[in-house]
Structure 1
Amino acid sequence: MSAFAATVRRGGGWLPMIGLLSVVDAAGQLALPAALGRCVDAVVAGHDLGPWVAAVAGLIVVSVVADVLDAYAGAACVSRTTAWLRDTLVRHTLAVGPSGANRFDTGDLVSRICANSADAAQAGPAVVVVGTALIPPIGSLVLLALIDPWVAAAFLAGLALVAGVLRAFTRTTARVTGAYQQVQARIAARLAESLAGARTIAGAGTLLAERRRVLGPLAELRAHGDRTWHALSRSSAQAAVVGPLVLVAVLAAGGLGALTGRITPGELFAASRYAVLGAGLGALTGALGRLARARAGVARAAEVLGVEPLRYGSRTLPDRCPGGRLELRDVTVRAGAARLLDGVNLTVPAGALVAVVGRSGSGKSTLAAIATRLRDPDAGEVLLDDVPMADLSHDALRAAVGCAFERPTLVGHTVADALGDNLHRVRAAAGATHAHDFISRLPDGYATPLARTPLSGGETQRLGLARAWPARRLLVLDDATSSVDIVTGMRIASALASGRGARTTVVVTHRPTAAAGADLVVWLAAGSVRAVAPHADLWPDPDYRAVFA
């Protein structure tokens, strides 16, 4: 099933209701000219107007009620579909992991989830409205044929012009709408970057240049917007010509029919109303524009949903003490034509403290991501305690493996929320990483809102480390203490060293002291393992010493 069809189906029971109400409204619109025509004939013939006036009033009431209920059903359907689509996109974005989500700029991704989802959610109602919008012109043609075939023929000739206008409008709108959404997302992405780096921009004094960069695509956005309005105005101008032409043709044919006695004055009046109703482009252009926006929104959502998420198995890890034996077998990771890791074979003993070193771009962070299954290798296999990581269940993997980063993002309302959902475990982890010291000095301690908590780089890193600390088998630190002061860094290093044997710890570092304190050092160069040995054995090599320069 296509993404568009799946989005349409999410409208559920609201769609038949919208369709039924639209049909009722269209039927009322088609019946009203006939009833008004009967009123005209009754006046001309001097007959009782009462029944026909009552019929006209009833049809107007039915149309008004159908319009109100249709508006409610449409809003409910769009709200339901928008909520489903946003929930699906957020869940999928989290499921694909960092490597998948990084294919999109943050602002672009937010734009797809928020703005484009609302457009895509219009798919179901738009399809129904487009379908039912054909009822007035088709119904008008049928009813005109019943009144007089020559009148119907004149109307049918005018419909050919209407179809041409609609075809041109649809093609232009579909093309321009997608381009407009893409430029809009580009602006959102640049704005997100600027907000994240607001302090740097202010410090560098580049505010004006950054403003020009963020708002640079506005000219292109305006051009696409102008094209949309031009298409709409062109179709409106064409409708202003086509509509009267159809009406004149119908009135001319109907007038001749009235003169020859083929049709009554009331039928002539009804024919004029059917010409206006059937040739009216407002409802159709609005419905087609809505459909075009929905298709563009669905297409942008489908690009996100097309990214393959990380798949988890159902296995658990065997009981083993010490646990945490990590093995990489012929692991290759690519980024386009470049190889971030190239056929890496590596075994990290269970319970060991291992340092990973190398120059910038050697593959250290990629190795950390592979070891914690934040991404899967393009080739090869990663095993933890002899179990392929891809076979582990999500809960088993995340309970066993933790990762702390150089620039952690703290998520949650309070400091405690950012560290986990078990207060006892949170306090123990904060104590081990020496984060408890500064947390206890906050106004409300662990309950202090993150938004009101000024944190230094080192404090943020300690909180990130505390969040990962409960990992049972494997703890990976990707340069996670680079901003910590020397004394606190030594305390954390001591805590890591005291955990030898309980679990495996892998530390990505640029510090020779951290490498010296490890059991083994994995030396990476250009995506390959150059050596695995104790720091003291590697130190005589000048190339190794240059890694820390």
Structure 2
Amino acid sequence: MTAPDPADPPGPADPPGPSGEAAAARGADRALRAAARHSAGRLAAASACSVAAAGAALAEPAVLGHTLDLLLRQDPSGARWTAWCAAVIAAEVLLDAATARLGGGVDARSTAWLRRLGLGRLLRTAPHHAARHSPGELSARLTAQATTAGAVPTAVMGTAVALLPPLGALVALFLVDVWTGLAFLAGLPLLVLLLRAFARDSGASVSRYQEVQLAMAGRLVEALAGARTIAAAGTAEREQARVLARLPELGAEGRRTWRIYGTTVARTSALMPMLLYVVLGVGGMRLADGALGVGGLLAAVRYAGLAAGVGAVTGRLAAVVRGRAAARRTAALFDLPELPQGDRWLPEDGPGTLELQGVRVVRAGAVVLRDVDLLIPGGTTAAVVGRSGSGKTTLAAVAGRLTACDAGRVLLDGVPLDELSGEELRRETGHAFERPALFGKDVAAAVAFGGGRAAPDRHAVRAAARAAGADAFVRRLPEGYDTALPDAPMSGGELQRLGLARAFCRAGRLLVLDDATSSLDTVTAREVERALTHDVRPGTRLVVAHRISSAARADLVVWLDAGRVRATGTHAELWRDPGYRAVFGDGAEPGPHPRPAAEPPGREAVR
């Protein structure tokens, strides 16, 4: 089990305490085993090449030493052994290259697998689960941490195989000559110091790789900021592809980093001559005494070089430890619960009747909605009012199935929402939020954004923008509806109007507006309410309201108090209750707003 990292405090997905750490470590190990199985064939091939390369490395000094002795004695078999030397050296070089290539591929595949699994689970969970982690933390888990974790399978394999040449070389060194073996052991502390200096100075080679990672993290933060919009639109897979679109570039940078790493490792051989000189000096004295032949001296020096590789095992073990710690953080995303979906469809031409039966929602141990029973007839505009913290936003999320209830059920036209297919759910339920997130290359694409039905054409996009009061300011933009979003600075009210236009453009039989007009002025808000009645596809409206005018214009008012439905009725009926009047502030006027008269024929409806 890895020790807790002080820089990564326990969070909701990382329970504190020994049992939580043990569970997190087990989850990380399961994720790493699954990642290894994902590239099992390549990992097995890399292991085989690495073991074969270790065998060739161990055989090379003995073969070289024996060949040299034969050549010095002018033995006829020396030519044959020279060929063997060339074959062993070539095999070692080729096998090392194959191991590096296969290992880099395993790392890339494991990292991509961890990222895809974590991101897919993150975008398919309820938005409130994703909100338990900050965007920066989630970005780190899916970028840098996933990269470190993805290297664990090859690091474990490499650590095990890396022990073979140093241990075998040390044994062979003592077999060749005991004194050269002792000389190597005496110089081992110096080798450790040299390797430590190398580890300290080798971090600069990954800077370009991290630059691409940060670019991907930026897209990820955008997606996380709009998690509710993505969930409401049913476009999790599309956004997953957008966030991961630069993976090929990241792969190219990763391969470049591996090449730099290989070159750096090759150059570090220059840091070890002092140790080899000690062995060479002792071996030379043994040669002068006649206790060691020329070939034996060559073998001793070569085996000393191989034994010096034992220091690299420490670095590999450190990589495994870091990778498991990173995997623990990344694997925490795999435990995020997905919203279950069914395969049912709604009845044709249903009116949009919304019914909540005994709905109970618990968040962080506190009951947010408590045994809510509510029936909203199809075609009704229902305003949800209540003091801050009464559960209005949670009720809106449950009604549109952006989150699941812990007890009870929600039905639309008699069908439980958790039994609907994802496509049908997002086709027939629309959402608009207080702070909408816009996605797309330009304004028109942002209004048309969504899933579950065919993409609306430009005519429908403009009709929806007119209904939301957004058409006028969009036409004033440099390129109108073709203006790129980064080039279209908008106020909070303009942003809300585009969010409303998006909801109107894809309105189904149920439309949920969660405080979606809070940034609009009173006149614009009334125009939007009128358009919602006459210019948008008919259906049921559930409106989280703070304005008296919104409640007064609604067919039905749902008054929430501390997570319970305190009363339902028309605004005029509830206004008699002092507690209801207090929801809108002391001294609030009843503000009667007669419902607008029917529009003349010919008005264009947003479908």
User: TM-score per shorter chain, which class?
Assistant: 0.7 to 0.9
1 CA distance for matches of 2:482 and 2:101? 42
Partner of 1:508 in structure 2? 544
1 CA distance for matches of 2:339 and 2:320? 33
1:535 aligned to 2:571? yes
Look up the SS of the partner of 1:331 in the other structure: strand
1:143-542 alignment, distance < 5 Å: 143=172, 266-267=295-296, 269-278=298-307, 280-322=309-351, 324-420=352-448, 421-423=455-457, 424-469=459-504, 470-498=506-534, 502-542=538-578
Would you say how many aligned residue pairs link Structure 1 and Structure 2?
478
Residue type at the aligned position of 1:451: P
User: What is the CA distance between 1:145 and its match in structure 2?
Assistant: 8.3
Using structure 2 for the length normalisation, give the TM-score. Answer: 0.70
User: What is the CA distance between 1:31 and its match in structure 2?
Assistant: 1.7
2 CA distance for matches of 1:507 and 1:55? 83
Using structure 1 for the length normalisation, give the TM-score. Answer: 0.77
Partner of 2:157 in structure 1? 128
Q: Deviations over 1:219-252 (max 9, x none)?
A: xxxxxxxxxxxxxxxxx9xx99xx979x97xx79
Percent identity, please: 45
Q: Assess if the C-alpha contact under 8 Å between 1:362 and 1:527 holds in 2.
A: yes
Partner of 1:233 in structure 2? none
C-alpha spacing 1:480/1:39, structure 2 compared with 1 (3 Å): same
Q: Which stretch has the larger CA shift, 334-343 or 448-457?
A: 334-343
Look up the SS of the partner of 1:2 in the other structure: helix
- Tell me which of 147, 162, 166 is aligned to 1:118: 147
User: What is the CA distance between 1:258 and its match in structure 2?
Assistant: 11
User: What is the CA distance between 1:333 and its match in structure 2?
Assistant: 1.4
CA-atom RMSD, angstroms?
Answer: 3.8
Partner of 1:204 in structure 2? none
Q: Assess if the C-alpha contact under 8 Å between 2:508 and 2:537 holds in 1.
A: no
2 CA distance for matches of 1:80 and 1:364? 44
- Tell me which of 24, 36, 41 is aligned to 1:8: 36
1 CA distance for matches of 2:173 and 2:295? 13
User: What is the CA distance between 1:416 and its match in structure 2?
Assistant: 1.9
1:68-107 alignment, distance < 5 Å: 68-107=97-136
Partner of 1:42 in structure 2? 70
Residue type at the aligned position of 1:94: L
Q: Assess if the C-alpha contact under 8 Å between 1:351 and 1:501 holds in 2.
A: no
- Tell me which of 50, 53, 65 is aligned to 2:94: 65
2 CA distance for matches of 1:128 and 1:307? 30
User: What is the CA distance between 1:78 and its match in structure 2?
Assistant: 2.2
Q: Deviations over 1:102-138 (max 9, x none)?
A: 1211110011111111112112221221222122135
Residue type at the aligned position of 1:113: L
Q: Assess if the C-alpha contact under 8 Å between 1:100 and 1:309 holds in 2.
A: no
Q: Deviations over 1:262-302 (max 9, x none)?
A: x7553454245334423532321232222222212221111
Which ranges of structure 2 fall in alignment gaps of 5 or more residues? 1-28, 197-213, 226-267, 449-454, 586-607
2 CA distance for matches of 1:414 and 1:451? 8
User: What is the CA distance between 1:158 and its match in structure 2?
Assistant: 6.7
Residue type at the aligned position of 1:375: T
Residue type at the aligned position of 1:390: D
Look up the SS of the partner of 1:543 in the other structure: helix
Q: Assess if the C-alpha contact under 8 Å between 2:342 and 2:419 holds in 1.
A: yes
User: What is the CA distance between 1:58 and its match in structure 2?
Assistant: 4.0
